[in-house]
Amino acid sequence: MKRIFYLLPFLLLFAACNQQPQISSPNGQVTLTFRVNKSGVPQYSVSKNNTTLILWSSLGLACAEQDLTSGFEITDTESQFFSDKWETVWGEERVIVDRHYEMRVALQHQSGVRMDVLFRVFDDGIAFRYIFPEQEMRSLTITDEISEYRFAADHAAWSIPWRTEYYEGLWTKAPLSEQTDTLCSPVTLELADGGYAFVHEAALYDYPAQNLYMKDGALRIYLTPWLDSTKQALDAKAYETLPFATPWRMVILADDLRQMVASRIMLNLNEPCAIEDPSWIKPMKFIGIWWGMHMKSMTWEQGPIHGATTANMERYLRFAKEHGIQAVLAEGWNLGWETWEHFSFTEPYDDWNMDYLSQLADSLGVQIIGHNETGGNAADYEDQLEAAYAYHQAHGIHAIKTGYVSPIIRTVDGLQWNKGQSGVRHYRKIIETAAKYHIAIDNHEPVMPTGLQRTWPNLMTQEGVRGQEWNAWSNDGGSPCSHVTILPFTRVMAGPVDYTPGVFAFENPVMPQTRVHATLMNQLGLFVCIYSPLQMACDLPENYMKHPDAFHFIEDVPCNWERSMLVDGVIGEYCIFARQERGSENWYIGGVNADEAREVTIPLSMLTEGKTYVATIYRDGEEADWQTNPYDYEIEEQTVTAADVLQLRMASGGGLAIAVKPAAL
């Protein structure tokens, strides 16, 4: 990542005696105030445009060695202004602006322990983290984090419960006051006054993932615990050696959904790129030997309908070449699928000729995406890691999809929550080791993303979502139409999602009651609405060839962007995104709709004024409906300019996709 402007620090020193130090955002609208109350509890509050949004909220850590939740005093405060612009290796935006004020409050506990709280205030939100400088105390066992968000009103929260396996749940909305369960982070809030807030964390490296729960009117943090050998939660949540800093706790504060999805606070809170030359990391669209297994027409393990055979892969590679798709994933190429007890990441089944396929892929200019399913045995994976990545690298493989089918995984520390500290350490080791071998990661069953891709852009995409596969086999019939209209404002806000869009055949002979709740145009719209720099077109080549004209959009749509914006949307009802292809004048617009058919208005004001473009519009036909007629669509071309406003209809479960390119002169 190229830093365009270096930091512009303005150091302002507050007198140590200032008992309520304060900083405001660069535009002056968001203000954060700090105090230590009469009991020595550190607290902060936040206002926006002079209205208090977060009332005095407590900070602190309960530790086995020392209770650090009260008994503090301020010893020093300093604040500075940062203005920076940096370039992403890939992303929704090429250039990201980071402007904020930072305030460091140095605290001394009555026991003598020193703890700083570092705050940042941006135009679109706030963040803070705890920092323990080097001192006499050498280590801390954190048993609870008392950080809270005491919102001034009873906002509506979109959430999934914290025990949702791999975050693969349906998001629901309920007032904060009615949240009786502990929730996964993030949580998206529809504020009582019409604004939005997004509560999450950034830069999670050596700490348990945060969960959130309501207690005494405040949203509080529940850290994922360590487990004992019988899988019972221990008091310990994090073991830390000083000096250390916790992840950032962050809240995006937005006037509307457009501002919320445009916020880049989470990325800005992560460190700059740690990979010296990241030019080998390439966004790619891919197809794969995958959907067949979920639809049960192929198997992962060897047998009469084995998916990952040399012949099948050759067919997929040639199809990819013919249609300009950059890569092909193959699952079930390696030993271990019969029992899931021990997978080998260097030994293929004997009907998979890795040497032949890697040479073929190379000659076709198509990448192979490797697959390392661990079955949740992270320790076994770590034992094989260097050999596995050397093997893939030797076969020209630069991206691997990993998998951990089990929310409690076997780490080097025994059975642990994948989002506990031990799991977080494992995922970090994977990313850092993969980088050494020039391998990008698509992590399935991950810990919720927190923006690490700024530092490690080889962490390209992750699951952590109820993805398309549920529409193949879920006993509840498949995800409701509203699901994909909620994700862009919840899960996708935390980082790229390997949702696997692009189903073109809706019949499911194995599970006739289960299906994709979508029209074909909805499946196209997802390529723009759900961002991923590794974007899978999940269906079988033969199904794509049934609708080659619609498949043309998948061939055409990029997955790396210059700029991105929400055109319009209501969480749970519909959304329309527009994105400009990186390094080009082409724009792509995608929309997805929930159950109720609707007319939408799309102003093309994002286009360059005075220029003429050709828009290829892929839209639901008059009779389209996800239940009765998902294949009814129309494709038309129209000459457009920035002054035009498109009026289009999205069917029930429908969608739209538009490619807008400068007209040939």
Name the CA radius of gyration of the chain, rounded: 25
DSSP string, 318-378: HHHHHTT--EEEESS-BTTTTTSS---SS-B-TT--HHHHHHHHHHHT-EEEEEEE-TT-H
The residue type of 232 is Q
Q: Which residue carries 């001394």 as its tokens?
A: 108
Q: Are strands 210-215 and 440-443 parallel, antiparallel or unpaired?
A: unpaired
The answer to whether 331 contacts ligand NOJ (rule: CB under 6 A) is yes
DSSP string, 314-331: HHHHHHHHHTT--EEEES
The answer to whether 463 contacts ligand NOJ (rule: CB under 6 A) is yes
Give the nearest distance from C-beta 349 to ligand NOJ in angstroms: 15
The answer to whether 442 contacts ligand NOJ (rule: CB under 6 A) is no
The answer to whether 581 contacts ligand NOJ (rule: CB under 6 A) is no
Q: Which is nearer to ligand NOJ, 165 or 235 (CB)?
A: 165
Residue 294 in tokens: 């979920």
Residues 504, 553 contacting (CB under 8 angstroms): no
Give the nearest distance from C-beta 450 to ligand NOJ in angstroms: 20
Give which of 49, 55, 5 is closest to 24, Cα–Cα.
49
Q: Measured between alpha carbons, how far is 188 from 173 in angstroms, rounded to an integer?
A: 9
Q: Measured between alpha carbons, how far is 518 from 539 in angstroms, rounded to an integer?
A: 14
The answer to whether 620 contacts ligand NOJ (rule: CB under 6 A) is no
Give the nearest distance from C-beta 372 to ligand NOJ in angstroms: 9
Tell which positions 372-391 bind ligand NOJ, by CB under 6 A. Answer: 373
Give the nearest distance from C-beta 59 to ligand NOJ in angstroms: 37
Annotated catalytic residue 469: yes
Going 137 to 142 to 146 to 149, the CA torsion angle's sign is: positive
Give the nearest distance from C-beta 487 to ligand NOJ in angstroms: 15
Can you tell me which of 376, 403, 501, 655 binds ligand NOJ, judged by CB under 6 A?
Answer: 403
The secondary structure of residue 274, as a DSSP letter, is: -
Enumerate residues 6+ apart whose C-beta is below 8 A from 139: 65, 239, 240, 241, 242
Residue among 190, 373, 463, 469 flagged as catalytic: 469
Q: Measured between alpha carbons, how far is 131 from 243 in angstroms, rounded to an integer?
A: 8
The answer to whether 502 contacts ligand NOJ (rule: CB under 6 A) is no
The two most distant CA atoms of the chain are separated, in Å, by: 77
H or E element, residue 555: helix 548-556
Q: Which is nearer to ligand NOJ, 149 or 316 (CB)?
A: 316
Q: Which is nearer to ligand NOJ, 332 or 572 (CB)?
A: 332
Q: Which is nearer to ligand NOJ, 336 or 457 (CB)?
A: 336
DSSP string, 492-536: GGGS-B-----------SSSTT----S-HHHHHHHHHHS--SEEE
Give the nearest distance from C-beta 82 to ligand NOJ in angstroms: 39
Residues 288, 369 contacting (CB under 8 angstroms): yes
Residue 96 in tokens: 């990201």
Give the nearest distance from C-beta 568 to ligand NOJ in angstroms: 31
What are the beta bridge partners of residue 202? 248
Q: Are strands 244-245 and 187-190 parallel, antiparallel or unpaired?
A: unpaired
Give the nearest distance from C-beta 463 to ligand NOJ in angstroms: 5
Q: Which is nearer to ligand NOJ, 479 or 593 (CB)?
A: 479
Residues 602, 528 contacting (CB under 8 angstroms): no
Residues 71, 94 contacting (CB under 8 angstroms): no
Q: Measured between alpha carbons, how far is 224 from 599 in angstroms, rounded to an integer?
A: 44
User: How many contiguous H segments (helices) and E segments (strands) does the chain have?
Assistant: 12, 41
Q: Measured between alpha carbons, how far is 77 from 74 in angstroms, rounded to an integer?
A: 8
13 C-beta neighbours (distance < 10 Å), count: 11
Q: Which is nearer to ligand NOJ, 201 or 463 (CB)?
A: 463
Please tell me the count of residues contacting ligand NOJ according to CB under 6 A: 8
The answer to whether 444 contacts ligand NOJ (rule: CB under 6 A) is yes
| Vertex 60: Cα angle to 55 and 64 (nearest 5) | 150
Residues 536, 468 contacting (CB under 8 angstroms): no
Residues 577, 528 contacting (CB under 8 angstroms): yes
Give the nearest distance from C-beta 339 to ligand NOJ in angstroms: 14
Can you tell me which of 123, 201, 469, 595 binds ligand NOJ, judged by CB under 6 A?
Answer: 469
Can you tell me which of 41, 156, 364, 405 binds ligand NOJ, judged by CB under 6 A?
Answer: 405
Give the nearest distance from C-beta 337 to ligand NOJ in angstroms: 9
Tell which positions 47-66 bind ligand NOJ, by CB under 6 A. Answer: none
Q: Measured between alpha carbons, how far is 85 from 101 in angstroms, rounded to an integer?
A: 15
Q: Which is nearer to ligand NOJ, 335 or 405 (CB)?
A: 405
Q: Catalytic site residues?
A: 469
Binding residues for ligand NOJ, per CB under 6 A? Answer: 290, 331, 373, 403, 405, 444, 463, 469
